[in-house]
Structure 1
Amino acid sequence: MDDTRTDAGELAEYGYQQELKRTLSAWAVFAIGFATISPVVGIYAVVQLGFVFAGPAWIWAVVVAFLGQLLVATVYAELSSQFPMTGGVYQWVRRLGGPRLGWLVGWIYLASAVASLTTVAYLGASWLHMLFSDRPLSPTTHVLLGVLFVAVALGINLLGVNPVKHFLNAGILAEGVASIAVSAFLLLFAHHNGFGILFETLGAEAASGGSVLAGFLTCLAVAGWAFLGFDATTQVAEETEQPRRSVPRALLRAYLFVAFTVLLTGLAVTLALRRPEEAVSGATADPVFTAVTRELGGWSEKPFILVVLIAFFACAISIQTYIGRAVYAFARDRQLPFSPTLATVGPRQIPYVSLIATAVLAGLGLLLGLNGNAAATLIAFGSGGFYFIFLTVAVVALVARLSGRWNPSAGRLRLGRPGLVINALAVVWLLFEAINIAWPRAELAPADGSWIQVWAVVLVFSALLVAGLVYVMVVKPHTKLPESPTTQKAEAL
């Protein structure tokens, strides 16, 4: 029996037909994961904030976040090996924790995913402006350029899976130049600080009331953004060849390769800055751009901006890809208003209505940028939702292991007893980091921001959770789920 028929047969066991085009190779899935996590988007977004709150010692917050998220990525890899379906966390929690909890997780996940697209578009808009102008970027122009970012990502996704693969390959090439090649150059030829500086704060704790620990925790909350997106690989499982094997491998490989690149870039930039104290004070607004262009020369400014911009576009395209699939999976199970429309698959075998709907929502989220610099707020907002999801999935997986509802050995990725230990450690890490990210910090809000922006993560996701609970109680979407032999067996346990 060929692989395609086997994959479709496994999908049928869960009650679904093969509607999406199964053409993604293991490399293509890796590309989606790599572009979504994106070392350029991750590190370039947090390096400035890292210096402001922890000084050169900010790099250790990145190390901690990497190790913590590696535990989570391993749990996700095990789950994706056993449940090779589009929908990822929604599908897993629905089957292991029950349909009501699955719905709530899917609901928060969609909100967080849209927020991440908004954040990448907002951050990428700054680089797009730098490519064409040296003038200060006004809030209105910033938002409009962010909308352009979302529109381009949507347009490319509507072309179909194959064009997306080509753009993501270009993004990986750009990431390699902007991160690995540039970092190697800085380490070899622009090493202006000794390794001892990695243990200094240069007075950055002043931004956190004089507390080095508070500054490091703030930096750790921001650093969590750099290791989001590895679950994007799970959203294209129904478009992947041999997903039980390809998806978890692509997930872990993408995560580890991006993590290596992020740490390399962070180290290279920190050691290359001639005046790191200016990055701490804010006088150097963009430490990465400053370090690179000063060492390579003025000629490198526009080419470097262009390469970084390609990486940002690839990230936005990849995020748009997996958000559309997540909404499609949710709507296919009749879990959303207008589900039949949102689950529509077009001639190119893509969920085009879901793609359009999520692009509109991400564009509306950019309106937050009209109130000055919203980068820190958007990063905290995007990270907060994902870490809540990470925690819920890890807890559900751990409880399912211990209660016998889930036997990880049934998947292709078999970790045995170490898998249980990793799962437990992931829960501990995520409980800490979720609280750390949600903690209200005035220093992460715009200078003239209100208390609402300080409490944005807690307020918004509390409102989403309450709205989700009301929807579950009133509409009862879990009663509309299609039945399958697998679902019946799981829910009978």
Structure 2
Amino acid sequence: MDDGQNPRHDEFRKTLRTRHGVIIALANISPTVSIGIGLGFLAAVAGTSLPAAFLLAALPILAVSGGYARLAARDPNCGTAYVWVRRALGPWAGYLTGWTSVATNIMFLSYAGQLTGQFTLQLAHETGLFSTQSTLAVTLTGLLWTGLIVIGAVRGVKDATAVQSVLLGLSAVVVLTVVVTAFVRGDAAPVQVSWFSPFAFPDTLTLLSATVLAAYMFWGWESAFSVVEENAEARSSGRAGLIAIVVTLVLFLIGAAGFLHALTPGQLTDPLAGITELSRTFYGTGGAIAAIAAMLAATVACMQSSVIAGSRLTLAMGRDGVLGPSWARLHPSRRTPVTSTLRTAGLAVALSVAGLAVGELSEVVLAVVNSVGILVSLMYGIGGWACVITFRHELRGGRLRDILAVGVLPALGGTALLLLGGLVAYLQWTSVDHMAFDPENGRFLTALPLGAVLLGVPAAFWTRYRRKAAYFTQPASPLAPAPASVSAAAPMSASSSTGVSA
């Protein structure tokens, strides 16, 4: 019987390929949006060393992604790090990893919904249809987009990635056209090799600070692993994550060099002088309209990818007894996590609506999104070490390739990301001498994400002692055996791998 066509009632269909994972990861990273409206924030710290910051940030990300690839091949579970950290460091660390991922995903979806509303209304203004930027209009427009995104996610990943590929393609064409034009027509500064050199930073603190911010802009590559149980091959997620990181790095380097060539330092560090205004300069109002449409398309694709990844994480938590069993329910015909999808999106919508009643709440959401780099670095760092600890016994007498892939590189990458996360927390906390309810206050930006993690501690106690979740009380299922004749990275059919559902 073909499991891909006739899965059990509680299983996903295994029909996805590497290309689907690449699209999901690229959509979640959303490099075109980062180029369009995010380079200015990084340039304010990195200056002309903008490309070098991306190169440095990519190194630990790539190192950790190799560890994720091995874990996905041997332990294919849509809970990803939530399950893998539990295996390596215990259920308390795993639970807090899952809690943090869910919290940041919901906060991001609430924020991204607002962005889709803003881009839609900006597009209406530029095209002369109507003009409004009221908070109510922005929120309601974002909610409409969220509803459409949820429908697409429930219909299935293949349909969703088909839409995402079109949206990503359109946004990439626009952004790359502007960047190429910047190379051709820009004259602010000649392209220099020193832009790509880590030795060109004025001091170590600037280098580290810029690397932290650049690493945050890669956030989302791990979403390729959220569909590991739906892959025809367990290795597909590892390939997809690697391809997405490399493609993103290339786009970042090209975009950063083009903007440095075309914009003065003052223009570059002003987020308002990003892709839209550069497009307006080169191509007039039509260029500005195309740029806003590109940002809208990429943001919609990003939201859809976040819904797909987030719903599979909460499904895994429901399956393990951490959440109610209804969270693990699959659509009877489409085999998608319909309950988790609806509830994850519903929580994000509730947060957006609450922001209308409590205006300052939207500031809190923005602050968390701006400071989530701390959590991203910590989660990736812990994930890297989870790989090292999980495969520690297999490193003895192993081949050099395996020792590097599941030992040395994840350890170095994980340590670097943990240190970077700690650094940005320290820098933000010491940047001011008082706490204030302000999305620009460094201590507020540090306390919010760390407070979100701490809130998970009482929730963990309730789940362990009141709900008595199997995740806390039962041992993890054994890893799928490593192939005997080749390394653990060799192709392994997803249908022959043992999934882990504690």
Whether TM-score is above 0.5 comes out as yes
Which secondary structure does the structure 2 equivalent of 1:192 belong to?
coil
| Whole-Å separation in 1 of the counterparts to 2:367 and 2:78 | 30
Shift of 1:448: 7.5
The code of the aligned residue for 1:287 comes to G
Checking the alignment, whether the CA contact within 8 Å between 1:108 and 1:465 is kept in structure 2 is no
Deviates more, 1:342-351 or 1:55-64: 55-64
Cα 1:473–1:105, aligned 2, differ >3 Å: closer, same or farther? farther
The answer to whether structure 1 residue 164 and structure 2 residue 160 are counterparts is yes
Q: Which structure 2 residues correspond to residues 276-291 of structure 1 after superposition, within 5 A? A: 276-280=265-269, 282=270, 285-291=272-278
Checking the alignment, whether the CA contact within 8 Å between 2:146 and 2:345 is kept in structure 1 is yes
Checking the alignment, whether the CA contact within 8 Å between 1:119 and 1:378 is kept in structure 2 is no
The code of the aligned residue for 1:234 comes to F
Cα 1:331–1:323, aligned 2, differ >3 Å: closer, same or farther? same
| Whole-Å separation in 1 of the counterparts to 2:109 and 2:236 | 25
Checking the alignment, whether the CA contact within 8 Å between 1:40 and 1:312 is kept in structure 2 is no
Q: Which structure 2 residues correspond to residues 309-388 of structure 1 after superposition, within 5 A? A: 309-336=296-323, 339-347=324-332, 348-366=334-352, 370-371=359-360, 377-388=367-378
The answer to whether structure 1 residue 108 and structure 2 residue 95 are counterparts is no
- The one-character-per-residue Cα deviations of 1:303-325 (angstroms, maximum 9, x if unpaired) are 22212211111111111111111
| Whole-Å separation in 2 of the counterparts to 1:464 and 1:231 | 22
The answer to whether structure 1 residue 392 and structure 2 residue 382 are counterparts is yes
CA RMSD across the alignment: 3.7
Shift of 1:105: 2.1
Shift of 1:458: 2.5
Cα 1:111–1:455, aligned 2, differ >3 Å: closer, same or farther? same
- The one-character-per-residue Cα deviations of 1:452-491 (angstroms, maximum 9, x if unpaired) are 4563222222333454355435544246767786279999
Residue 285 of structure 2 is matched in structure 1 by 298
Shift of 1:417: 2.3
**Where does structure 1 lack aligned partners over 5 or more consecutive residues?**
9-15, 206-210
Deviates more, 1:366-375 or 1:94-103: 366-375
- The one-character-per-residue Cα deviations of 1:84-139 (angstroms, maximum 9, x if unpaired) are 22211122223333334332322222222223323433444332221112668445
The code of the aligned residue for 2:296 comes to L
Residue 494 of structure 2 is matched in structure 1 by none
Cα 1:90–1:406, aligned 2, differ >3 Å: closer, same or farther? farther
| Whole-Å separation in 1 of the counterparts to 2:135 and 2:295 | 21
| Whole-Å separation in 1 of the counterparts to 2:273 and 2:364 | 16
Residue 228 of structure 1 is matched in structure 2 by 219
Cα 1:49–1:322, aligned 2, differ >3 Å: closer, same or farther? same
Residue 264 of structure 1 is matched in structure 2 by 254
| Whole-Å separation in 1 of the counterparts to 2:121 and 2:194 | 32
Checking the alignment, whether the CA contact within 8 Å between 2:121 and 2:133 is kept in structure 1 is yes
Residue 85 of structure 2 is matched in structure 1 by 93
Cα 1:466–1:262, aligned 2, differ >3 Å: closer, same or farther? farther
Residue 485 of structure 2 is matched in structure 1 by none
Cα 1:226–1:124, aligned 2, differ >3 Å: closer, same or farther? farther
Checking the alignment, whether the CA contact within 8 Å between 2:96 and 2:456 is kept in structure 1 is no
Query: Matched residues, percent identical?
Result: 20
Shift of 1:153: 1.7
- The one-character-per-residue Cα deviations of 1:311-366 (angstroms, maximum 9, x if unpaired) are 11111111111111111111112121xx2211111132111110011112222444
- The one-character-per-residue Cα deviations of 1:371-402 (angstroms, maximum 9, x if unpaired) are 47678624334333332221222222223333
Residue 488 of structure 2 is matched in structure 1 by none
| Whole-Å separation in 2 of the counterparts to 1:409 and 1:224 | 31
The answer to whether structure 1 residue 182 and structure 2 residue 172 are counterparts is no
Deviates more, 1:189-198 or 1:442-451: 442-451
Deviates more, 1:348-357 or 1:443-452: 443-452
The answer to whether structure 1 residue 49 and structure 2 residue 41 are counterparts is yes
Shift of 1:24: 1.5
Which secondary structure does the structure 2 equivalent of 1:111 belong to?
helix
Residue 240 of structure 1 is matched in structure 2 by 231
TM-score normalised over the length of structure 2: 0.80
Residue 428 of structure 1 is matched in structure 2 by 415
Deviates more, 1:138-147 or 1:392-401: 138-147
The code of the aligned residue for 1:171 comes to L
Shift of 1:147: 3.2
Checking the alignment, whether the CA contact within 8 Å between 1:119 and 1:382 is kept in structure 2 is no
The answer to whether structure 1 residue 23 and structure 2 residue 6 are counterparts is no
Deviates more, 1:33-42 or 1:17-26: 17-26
Cα 1:464–1:143, aligned 2, differ >3 Å: closer, same or farther? farther
Cα 1:197–1:422, aligned 2, differ >3 Å: closer, same or farther? closer
Aligned residues: 464
- The one-character-per-residue Cα deviations of 1:22-80 (angstroms, maximum 9, x if unpaired) are 22122112211221122113333421212334434344333322222122222212211
| Whole-Å separation in 1 of the counterparts to 2:330 and 2:73 | 25
Cα 1:19–1:488, aligned 2, differ >3 Å: closer, same or farther? closer
| Whole-Å separation in 2 of the counterparts to 1:122 and 1:267 | 30
Which secondary structure does the structure 1 equivalent of 2:401 belong to?
coil
Checking the alignment, whether the CA contact within 8 Å between 2:92 and 2:460 is kept in structure 1 is no
Checking the alignment, whether the CA contact within 8 Å between 2:64 and 2:383 is kept in structure 1 is no
| Whole-Å separation in 2 of the counterparts to 1:476 and 1:89 | 21
Cα 1:250–1:196, aligned 2, differ >3 Å: closer, same or farther? closer
| Whole-Å separation in 2 of the counterparts to 1:199 and 1:374 | 35
Which secondary structure does the structure 2 equivalent of 1:195 belong to?
coil
| Whole-Å separation in 1 of the counterparts to 2:293 and 2:171 | 11
Cα 1:304–1:398, aligned 2, differ >3 Å: closer, same or farther? same
| Whole-Å separation in 1 of the counterparts to 2:326 and 2:27 | 29
Deviates more, 1:469-478 or 1:347-356: 469-478
Cα 1:438–1:136, aligned 2, differ >3 Å: closer, same or farther? farther
TM-score normalised over the length of structure 1: 0.81
Which secondary structure does the structure 2 equivalent of 1:349 belong to?
coil
- The one-character-per-residue Cα deviations of 1:275-322 (angstroms, maximum 9, x if unpaired) are 431443x4x624222223212333211122212211111111111111
Cα 1:302–1:103, aligned 2, differ >3 Å: closer, same or farther? same
**Where does structure 2 lack aligned partners over 5 or more consecutive residues?**
482-497
Shift of 1:212: 6.8
The code of the aligned residue for 1:427 comes to G
The code of the aligned residue for 1:77 comes to A
Shift of 1:146: 3.6
Cα 1:103–1:264, aligned 2, differ >3 Å: closer, same or farther? same
Residue 121 of structure 1 is matched in structure 2 by 113
Residue 25 of structure 2 is matched in structure 1 by 33
Cα 1:216–1:475, aligned 2, differ >3 Å: closer, same or farther? same
The code of the aligned residue for 1:29 comes to G
